[in-house]
Structure 1
Amino acid sequence: MSHLKTLIGFLKDRWLLLAAWLILFVLTVLVFWLIPHSPLDWGTVGYLFLMQCVLLVFFLAVSFLAKRRFWQKLTPRSGENLLQNYLQGARSVEEERIERYINQLISEHQELMQQVVGNQEEQKEYIDSWVHEIKVPLAASRLLLHAVEFDIPDDKFILLENELNRIDAYVEQVLYVSRLDSFSKDYLVQEVSIKSVIQPVLRNQANYFIQKNLHYKVVGDDQSILTDEKWLSFIFSQLVSNAVKYTPDNGQLTIQIDKDPQGTYLRLIDTGIGIPPEDLRRIFDKGFTGENGRKTDTHSTGLGLYLAKNLAKELGIELTAASTVGKGTTMTLFFPLLSYYEEIR
């Protein structure tokens, strides 16, 4: 079907040639007719028409085959990017002009892409440098805060410490966003204990648990998994932060660890406000805050779950969400066993 469309397009582009041939044939017949004392032989006319048709079809076929070879160069194969390879092998002046023009576009595109990549690298280096620099005054502020701990009211101390923790969390988000593209250069997969990862995260959220009078419990036996401890810790911290943010005072968080023949499950179950059904399918989109995130007392950035989803994907972890408005949300991290993972691929 594609070859037929190509042929039809080829003939449409040469309608002037076909019209000129038809006019020439009519003029030839007219000349024979106008010759005096020479009766017009329609058999000769038919024979002449047939010969001209054969020559025309032969010419068009040779031209079509030559053009098709060049067109195939302009048609990318599966997985091929035409903007990465220069065209070569032009056989006519027209093809040389097209080839020269396309190669110039490819060259300009590659130069532009190199410039963009260079700018991105510079921006990433600046962000990394800024993140490390900002951590110094953050650490100094934390030390100063603890130095005056007994000179200010407890509620003020907890409030200031929470704000410092929030700033630190936002700084970490910026750092992980900048590292997302270079993930393959910055991870170490090894056998780790799930509880050894989640317990430090829960301790870091202690002030928020106290402030909102939230209770949590860990259910299930500890399990060992193959993953990168640092990146998994960040993923889980984003999930816990979201759960704490959207769970009202006196709520409950349950961390559930399960295992079956397919792999290990780490579930974070909260009794929060839940996610509306129309927002649930978009919560992992970059910058999406949804109805809950637009509330004035939550200050959502729309980056936490986006980072968690993408980092989990890089680690071979499946992150899913289930929620009921007014009852709570369950975030599930599934760690497939290697044999099962290879089998389903």
Structure 2
Amino acid sequence: MLKLGIIGTNWITQQFIDAAKASGEWALTSVYSRRLDRADEFAGQNGVSETFDDLDKFFSNGHFDAVYIASPNSVHFSQAKLAIEHGKHVIVEKPAVANQAEFEALDELLRAHPGVLYFEAARQVHEENFKLIQAKLRTMDRIQGATLTYMKYSSRYDAVLDGQEPNVFSLKFAGGALQDLGVYLAYDAVAWFGMPDDVAYYPTLGPTKVDDSGVAILRYPSFNVTLNTGKSSNSYLPSEIYGLKDTIVMDNAAELGQVTYHRADGKTDNLGVAPDKNPMLAEARDFAAVINDPASHAKDYQAWRQLSRNVNKLLFNLRQSAHLYFSDAERDTPAE
């Protein structure tokens, strides 16, 4: 049984803990929060007693094999760095880091700590319907593009409208729609179609100067892919991948609850399967499998790392195209 430590005590942390327990591979043992009373409360709700409000002590004295990081985007890098230096496996919520420089710095650190594994928690990559779409694409004669949409009104946007600046809507904390819901769409595009030749992002900036919503255009040699994302409104549009006379339709490009293949003869096939009740269950199982037997799962692990690297690069290039910067250093860093 793998021992799990967590950073962050929000709803998504609880969802991962529930998935980890349901997988039968994990046991929560240690909780960190900036506020000890909050760590104690959250730990008590989950039947554990080891809590910390000091990050160094959490990594030095905590009894866990891997840490799940669900903190603001801007501190993913520093917290993952500490974890690796202390020999802890890392599962970090998407986006893995804020920019390419951070990704490469962690890569170098991982090479110096070859026994440590690092995972970006891009949950849909591990789900069956995602893989079924990927397999179906290989059978289609011609791909002519895609329109992928994921827009959901954030529970924190009311605070923005009241003049506040929550972390998820703050440049200081590497927030915004692209760095949140847009990550799911970036994973879809890169995994299904590869890296684009050229990109452009057209954000709609909100009161806090982050992108409340935006449209990205990814240019490939023979088609374009459009990504529609946002956190200030709800969209109920399906997402589509266009063949010649055939089309794959998804109810939602991130949640992938229903997937339908519209054949050239006008008939339809249900490609998807009923998703797990907890959407993080598949990744919890996959991460445990790699940690328990890294040699047998080395190919999968390296594929996920390369996909994470490419998605991070895509997100950075999209932001650069829109002159949307999280720091002054990013202004002087060209897109690749």
Query: TM-score, normalized by length of structure 1?
Result: 0.21
Which structure carries more helix by proportion? 1
Which structure carries more strand by proportion? 2
Q: Which has the greater radius of gyration?
A: 1
Which structure would you say has the larger RCO, counting Cα contacts within 8 Å and 6 or more residues apart? 2
Query: TM-score, normalized by length of structure 2?
Result: 0.21
